[in-house]
């Protein structure tokens, strides 16, 4: 067995060459503190090269916590009878989005479970596409939608309404683990949605979960799946045990694991967006996530509007910590700064243009 040298692997990443599966597995297995520090420093150098000191921030509106699915890790799963659910009205959604926009976020992420109200009726989705267009107009910000594995027609409605991003996380690219985590859902069907959204010109975000029984090789395979779909935003989130779910007694993984994965994502996707989510530990560990190479803070939630997070339903929300004011002192401490809305708008505009060009070239080839 040949052995890899850390300096070689980091050097390769710094010269923007793709890392192989074994190299990724090697990085994820680092144990020595000084080696891990070198990895994080390299991730920071790469982030700096493409984004300078600028960090983006996303406002999050989880507008329906109803879901027809039964994911084992998720508190919104249909068989969780303990869950107090809500579904926000159009005007509540617009109000939350506007208040986030006023606070200075760069994007609005409209998220819901696979709410049967929507999945049962076409008109509801049509209404949602219209609402997305209204929110985009009213806030003047790019828009992400995370509505689950919607139909082809609905994806098209979103694309036509001007939705910029489609987010739909696989959580794992190990099919056996996927079947365990997302019983009754189709692995290929979910993957296909992202490819279709991309073909329609929407940017895509792919995400994985750490601490659900995945191996380092699974993570390396996820990196290659993310590369294959051309995701513009790639994320990892630590599993948080949820009351009322079959995984409530499982432990949340050590945060070091998530940090190593963030750093590996940065090395693998130096010029892509990589979130540090407030939905895992609230403000705690935000600094560490950024120091591992993340460049977007996600899950900012306006306080006192009755909105919840996904993994952390209430942590730090009403305290006003999941806000722009909450994160700025953390950015300051490590020499980072909040980007302008214009910086973000330009990034999205440029990527969407690139994608349209690629899509046209593909059409020309067939």
List residues near ligand MD0 by CB under 6 A.
60, 109, 111, 146, 167, 277, 279, 298-299, 309-310
Pick from 57, 71, 161, 231: which binds ligand SF4 (CB under 6 A)?
A: 71
Q: How far apart are CA 42 and CA 292, in angstroms?
A: 9
DSSP state of 340: P
Partner from ligand SF4, ligand MD0, none contacting 323, C-beta within 5 to 8 A by type: none
74 makes contact with ligand SF4 (CB under 6 A): yes
Alpha-carbon separation of residue 116 from 64, 69, 120, 302 (angstroms)? 10, 9, 5, 26
CA dihedral 312, 316, 318, 319 (to 10 degrees): 170
Q: Which is nearer to ligand MD0, 23 or 279 (CB)?
A: 279
Sequence-ordered strand ranges (E) for 32-177:
54-64, 107-112, 143-146, 165-167
Partner from ligand MD0, ligand SF4, none contacting 146, C-beta within 5 to 8 A by type: ligand MD0
Of the candidates 3, 78, 10, which has an alpha carbon nearest to the alpha carbon of residue 41?
A: 10
Residue 350 neighbours by CB under 8 Å, 6+ apart = none
Partner from ligand SF4, ligand MD0, none contacting 64, C-beta within 5 to 8 A by type: none
76 makes contact with ligand SF4 (CB under 6 A): yes
Q: How far apart are CA 125 and CA 131, in angstroms?
A: 9
Q: Which is nearer to ligand MD0, 23 or 109 (CB)?
A: 109
Of the ranges 70-78, 156-164, 331-339, 350-358, which one interacts with ligand SF4 (CB under 6 A)? 70-78
Least distance in angstroms from the C-beta of 166 to ligand MD0: 10
146 makes contact with ligand SF4 (CB under 6 A): no
Bridge partners (DSSP) listed for residue 275: 296
Q: Which is nearer to ligand SF4, 62 or 269 (CB)?
A: 62
Partner from ligand SF4, ligand MD0, none contacting 245, C-beta within 5 to 8 A by type: none
67 makes contact with ligand SF4 (CB under 6 A): yes
Partner from ligand MD0, ligand SF4, none contacting 148, C-beta within 5 to 8 A by type: ligand SF4
Residue in the structure block whose two tokens are 């992420």: 109
Alpha-carbon separation of residue 277 from 20, 72, 210, 287 (angstroms)? 27, 21, 13, 11
Sequence-ordered strand ranges (E) for 68-181:
107-112, 143-146, 165-167
163 makes contact with ligand SF4 (CB under 6 A): no
Per CB under 6 A, residues contacting ligand SF4 are 67, 69, 71, 74, 76-77, 113-114, 148
């Amino acid at each position: 067995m040949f052995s890899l040298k850390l300096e070689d692997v980091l050097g390769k990443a710094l010269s923007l060459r793709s890392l192989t599966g074994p190299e990724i597995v090697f990085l994820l297995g680092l144990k020595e503190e000084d080696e891990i520090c070198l990895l994080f420093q390299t991730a920071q150098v790469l982030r700096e090269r493409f984004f300078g000191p600028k960090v983006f921030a996303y406002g999050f509106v989880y507008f329906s916590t109803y879901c027809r699915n039964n994911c084992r890790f998720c508190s919104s799963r249909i068989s969780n009878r303990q869950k107090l659910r809500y579904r926000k009205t159009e005007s509540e959604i617009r109000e939350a989005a506007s208040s986030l926009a006023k606070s200075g976020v760069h994007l609005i992420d409209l998220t819901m479970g696979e709410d049967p109200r929507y999945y049962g009726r076409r008109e509801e989705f049509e209404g949602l596409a219209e609402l997305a267009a209204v929110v985009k107009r009213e806030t003047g910000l790019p828009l992400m939608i995370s509505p689950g594995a919607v139909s082809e027609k609905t994806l098209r409605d979103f694309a036509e309404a001007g939705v910029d991003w489609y987010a739909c996380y696989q959580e794992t690219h190990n099919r056996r683990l996927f079947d365990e985590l997302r019983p009754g859902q189709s692995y290929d069907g979910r993957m296909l949605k992202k490819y279709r959204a991309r073909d329609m010109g929407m940017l895509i975000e792919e995400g994985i979960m750490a601490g659900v029984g995945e191996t380092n090789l699974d993570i390396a395979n996820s990196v290659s799946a993310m590369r294959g779909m051309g995701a513009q935003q790639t994320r990892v989130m630590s599993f948080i045990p949820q009351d009322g779910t079959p995984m409530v007694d499982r432990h949340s993984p050590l945060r070091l694991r998530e940090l190593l994965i963030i750093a590996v994502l940065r090395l693998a996707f130096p010029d892509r967006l990589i979130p540090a989510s407030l939905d895992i530990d609230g403000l705690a560990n935000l600094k560490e996530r950024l120091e591992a190479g993340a460049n977007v803070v996600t899950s900012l939630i306006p306080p006192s509007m009755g909105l919840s997070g996904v993994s952390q339903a209430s942590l730090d929300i009403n305290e006003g910590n999941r806000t722009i004011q909450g994160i700025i002192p953390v950015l300051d401490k490590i020499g980072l700064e909040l980007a302008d809305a214009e910086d973000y708008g330009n990034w999205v505009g440029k990527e969407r243009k690139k994608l349209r060009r690629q899509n046209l070239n593909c059409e020309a080839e067939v």
